[in-house]
Structure 1
Amino acid sequence: MIWTTAQETFTSRNQWTIESVLKQHPCAAISVYSNTLPLNVFKTLMDFGFNVKVVRYDFSKIVKVDEPGYKWALETPRYVDFPHYHIHTSDMLRLLLLFKHGGSYVDMDHVTTGPILGVRGPGRNIFGGERCRSDNPDCLGAKELLQLNVIRAEHIDSANHMNRAGFHTVKSGDTPRYTPCNGLLLNWDANHPVIAAALREIDSNYDPHCWGCLGPRLFGKLMYDTLALPTTVRRKNIFEDVSLLPPGVLYPIDYSEIASILGPTRRYEVEHFMANTYSLGVHFYGKMTNGLKIQSGSTMEKIIHEATVFGKLPFVFLARLGVTAMHIQGIPPGILSFATYLTTKQNSNNPISSSMFISVTYHSGIATHNSDPLEASLVGRAMQSSQRGEVFLMFIEPDQAEYATRLGSPSCAVWPTFMENPVFKGPFRTANDSAPLKVGLLGISHRITVKNFFVQAGAACMFDNAVIYTNTLRVRNSNQAINEQAMKEWHLSMCRGEFVELGWLKSDDFREVLVKNDINLYVSISDAVPNVILDSLAAGIPVISSDTNSIFMSSPYLAGLLTEPRVDDQSAIYHRASHVVDYVASNRREFEKAVRELFEDLDEKATRSWDCLVKSTYKTPMCVDGGGECVIARVPTSTTGF
């Protein structure tokens, strides 16, 4: 399996894909290739004994010189800003991995309902098929299908004993026209000639603008071109040991109709569908349904209940199964109600309430207490639960923690624990240095866009011959790269310096670029994304901020030097940055001394945050040698600089 987009885009629906495979094949070894998901994101599944892991990928280590796919892998940095980059990366990665290792691939928006892997699966070297659309020129008609091994439901052993009727691949009277899909590629042999041919085709004719040309259209074209040749001309049919499953097996519901099974359905209709639609899975076409709610009583909810390990199982059942800890990304439905169940008076003696630890990581965004009703409602419920002592709130941003606490919801701030120890390696810019100034203008997704990005870009453009490093920023809910448009068409095209577009950056790469600049522009509230400020200062790089809140509170020296409150004035930002560059170059030792003192103060704040965390986490205080007195153990100051 593969995940190429940001961590926050991974939801419970994608988790169900993994759980559904494990429900059918509990001994399966599942590798999720991702450079964005945390390595321990599937800890709960691993604690149950399932073999699920996140694997980092690097194209340069997967494919070697002269191997199929090498040309595309070599040129992939050129395509990072194209609209289908993430889709094509996923398409290409699955082919390269299957060619090298063999095995199976399953899309992250597919729920498996029957055995698909190994000897229990439908066979080797399997494509799933979808019903063709009129706008797809690479469909397989009756002539081509007769030359392929098309495995129908009645030929799959598990179809017989499940007492389910056969399925219909097309409407009555229609001529069968299928297209092979790459959403599920099952039980492939390593170094298979079909995968090799697909990779060579991509090397020769890659079109970064074509959405499906590395997926369904690619394999449809390969099959059509190969099978159209006379057998006297064809040296070898590379598809002779490849099988195609008709649409009803893996794609029983067309993408144009998938929304119908997410809504409320009468019970007998759900039961009729489940009894009369034989398939090995259901594709829910995430691109089309991610914004749609799976409603209670719907056919899709029924499928998820039956097909996944946990699925939409109430949290109380997880506790009864023996789960002692859950680490959840986002706030799923039911989590606050479950916390209420654990802490109500009648359940105070319930062993579940003393054995279950739940941590919920939730990024509130910029509209928590403002315009987004859903976010405001979720945080409001969490604060009410905190008031009742059911949950404890921890915020990265100190102002949010103070706000909640003042309203009677016990909270603590933990942001100072996420910082580096100050290490000044250099080399740093010196006085009268003639080298081009290196300016960092780096942000995270759309967030920096609403925090004066273009004003800061304008300020950076006023430096003669500066090298301005920026990473890919996109318009929210769009694939449009705003950097590219701004630099080519807007007033920034007259920039006196040079923009260097770095593309999308992983967190480690982000920090590495951050600390190589002479100055970083982040003229925004320092609480918002503190890592830009803290990581810069920890490396001895000055960074411009728009306020003195929290981070600079104990350092009037740094507050006066690095603060520029006029966030909408590029000239003010330019003059402030010019002054800071010259001053730090001439007073490097004094600047570093102030940074060390600041981090010592933040270190103490981190200690207090950990005290707060310990008090909230442990019902019984940790006892230390204190003359018989039981007290909360403090984390030593020397170990808190994370």
Structure 2
Amino acid sequence: MFQMSKLYHNFHHTKNSVFSFVLLLPLFLLLLLACNGFSVFYINLSVPAKTSQEPANLLPEILPGDKPVKKLSSSSVMYAVKEENPSLNLKTHLSLLQKPNISMVSKPEKQPHRFSPQTLKALQLRTTKRTKGFTFSTKLRAFFQNSNCKLRFFMTWISSLHSLSHRELLVIESVFKSNPKACLVIVSTSLDSPKGNAVLKPFLNMGFNLITVSPDFDSIFKHTYAETWFNRLKTGNINPGEVSLGQNLSNLLRLVLLYKYGGVYIDTDVIVLKSFNNLSNVIGAQSMNIETKTWSRLNNAVLVFDKHHPLLYKFIQEFALTFDGNKWGHNGPYLVSRVVGRVTNRPGFNFTVLPPPAFYPVDWSRIRSLFREPNNGIQSDWLRRKLEQIRRQSYAVHLWNRQSKDVRVEEGSIVHHIISDCCIFCNISTSSL
């Protein structure tokens, strides 16, 4: 009986304890929730610092009337940070309890452009042969000092020696026929060779000031916007595009050569008709607007500029900052047209735009007409008037090789007469020009 009474007493005590616990449990949970909520509002949202982009090593020079330009960046990784509550600035004691409401997405690192074997070969072939301590600049400096020339002409030949035709040799003849005291620098790897020197030896035997030199792009482009662009090209951070890399290198090379040395640049399909001694800081219009009498497009096949001319500086800058290897002409004729259109009438730029007859008396779409002999009286009259106009108004004639390289020179044509006017050796068969 005593044991039954004891068991009943214990059961009653346990029931009271459980009942008390049940009554106190909501109050305990409420206090715990309040404590936890108080801590949550002390979360510190630390936003990662913005990554700084490495500035490009470009010229700091600011020309008269310049506007700030966006520099090239060599940074290869950038981060996009999305912050839903950017105004929060709270402390935390429970950093692992709750994830911050921030997502940071790392953009995939841009892979360097992989050059094709042909592109790599082009870059390797156009490297100066550093022999006996002579570099590109030292070789040119010695040539100009020893030649005492009155005018400097520059040409580039980016093709093989086998591709050199009678037409290019005639262009060289025309330079010296009209400018016998000039110096001519041909920047070319294939011509700067024993076989190349043999081809050009007749000019040297005549006493003309002619030199061939392989390009050293690192040296030539140094201390210009071209330097940064070329470094990015070599490391694969610039896509050379579908247009010939050699063509675009020639577009840039002519600008830097004139900027550093001053003189005349001509393409290898431009026949020189007159002395260039009276020309200074000029560029030619390829086409004109008949109604407004203003130029509608310029061309870079002939450039005449003083050393360090500010327009050349802007051309080089434009090339480096807006390069596009997939658009034909974007880095050449269209480039000079864009820049001249922007700087015209701005202070600090002194240059002249010559009308089309100066260098481009016939548009590329009609160049074939200069190679044909007249078939009737009407054509004969047109030919006579056109030839007289060219001889009177033109300093040079652009033959537009892309459209005329396979066209035969017919006897009695305008080109046939021009060859007779400009040749020195005059033993070139016009049919093979």
**Aligned with 1:60 (options 197, 214, 218):** 218
| 1:189–1:333 CA distance, 2 compared to 1 (3 A) | closer
Tell me the distance in 2 between the aligned counterparts of 1:89 and 1:276: 34
Structure 2 gaps, min length 5 = 1-154
Instruction: Mark the runs of 5 or more structure 1 residues left unpaired by the alignment.
Output: 133-140, 142-169, 316-331, 335-642
Q: Which residue of 2 aligns with 1:185?
A: 303
Q: Is residue 166–residue 432 contact of structure 2 (8 Å, CA) maintained in 1?
A: no
Q: Distance in 2 between matches of 1:311 and 1:200?
A: 42
Q: Does 1:298 align with 2:407?
A: no
2:424 matched residue in structure 1: 309
**Secondary structure of the equivalent of 1:69?**
helix
Q: 1:305 to 1:60 in 2, by over 3 A?
A: same
Higher RCO, Cα 8 Å, sep 6+: 2
| CA distance in 1 between partners of 2:356 and 2:331 (Å) | 20
Alignment partner of 1:124 is 2:280 = yes
C-alpha separation in 2, matches of 1:181 and 1:280: 15
Q: Does residue 272 in structure 1 map to residue 385 in structure 2? A: yes
Which of 337, 342, 347 does residue 237 from structure 1 map onto?
A: 347
How far does residue 276 in structure 1 lie from its aligned partner after superposition? Answer: 3.2
Is the Cα contact below 8 Å between 2:408 and 2:432 reproduced in 1?
A: no
Offset, 1:75: 2.8
Q: Write out per-residue CA displacement over residues 152-187 of structure 1, whole angstroms, 9 at most, x where no aligned residue.
A: xxxxxxxxxxxxxxxxxx5xx57543322110011x
Are residues 1:288 and 2:388 paired?
Answer: no
Contact 2:173-2:424 at 8 Å conserved across structures: yes
2:226 to 63, 66, 69: 69
Q: What TM-score, normalized by structure 1, do the two folds share? A: 0.39
- Secondary structure in 1 matching 2:156: coil
Shift of 1:191: 1.4
Distance 2:309 2:374 in 1: 44
The answer for the alignment partner of 1:25 in structure 2 is 179
**What percentage of aligned pairs have identical amino acids?**
26
Q: What amino acid is the match of 1:289?
A: S
SS in structure 2 of the partner of residue 297 of structure 1: coil
Counterparts in 2 of 1:174 and 1:225: CA distance versus 1, 3 Å:
closer
Are 1:257 and 2:360 counterparts?
no
Checking the alignment, whether the CA contact within 8 Å between 2:166 and 2:428 is kept in structure 1 is: no
SS at match of 1:257: helix
DSSP 3-state at the match of 1:259: helix
Contact 1:113–1:280 under 8 Å retained in 2:
yes
User: Does 1:91 find its partner at 2:248?
Assistant: no
| Cα distance between partner residues in 1 of 2:374 and 2:292 | 28
**Does the CA-based 8 Å contact 1:19-1:311 persist in structure 2?**
no
In the superposition, relative to structure 1, how do residues 195 and 275 fare at CA in structure 2: closer, same or farther (>3 Å)? same
Query: Matches of residues 427-442 of structure 1 in structure 2 within 5 Å?
Result: none
Aligned 8 A contact 1:198 1:219 in 2: yes
Secondary structure at 1:5 match in 2: coil
The CA deviation at 1:203 is 1.7
State the superposition RMSD in angstroms. 2.4
Distance 1:83 1:249 in 2: 28
The structure that has the greater radius of gyration is 2
Runs of 4+ in 1 over 6 A off after TM superposition: none
Give the superposition deviation at 1:314: 7.0
Distance 2:389 2:189 in 1: 41
SS, match of residue 221 in structure 1: helix
Q: Deviations over 1:365-410 (max 9, x none)?
A: xxxxxxxxxxxxxxxxxxxxxxxxxxxxxxxxxxxxxxxxxxxxxx
Aligned residue in 2 for 1:554: none
Provide the aligned length of Structure 1 versus Structure 2: 266
TM-score relative to the length of structure 2: 0.57
Q: Is the 8 A contact 2:167 2:269 kept in 1?
A: yes
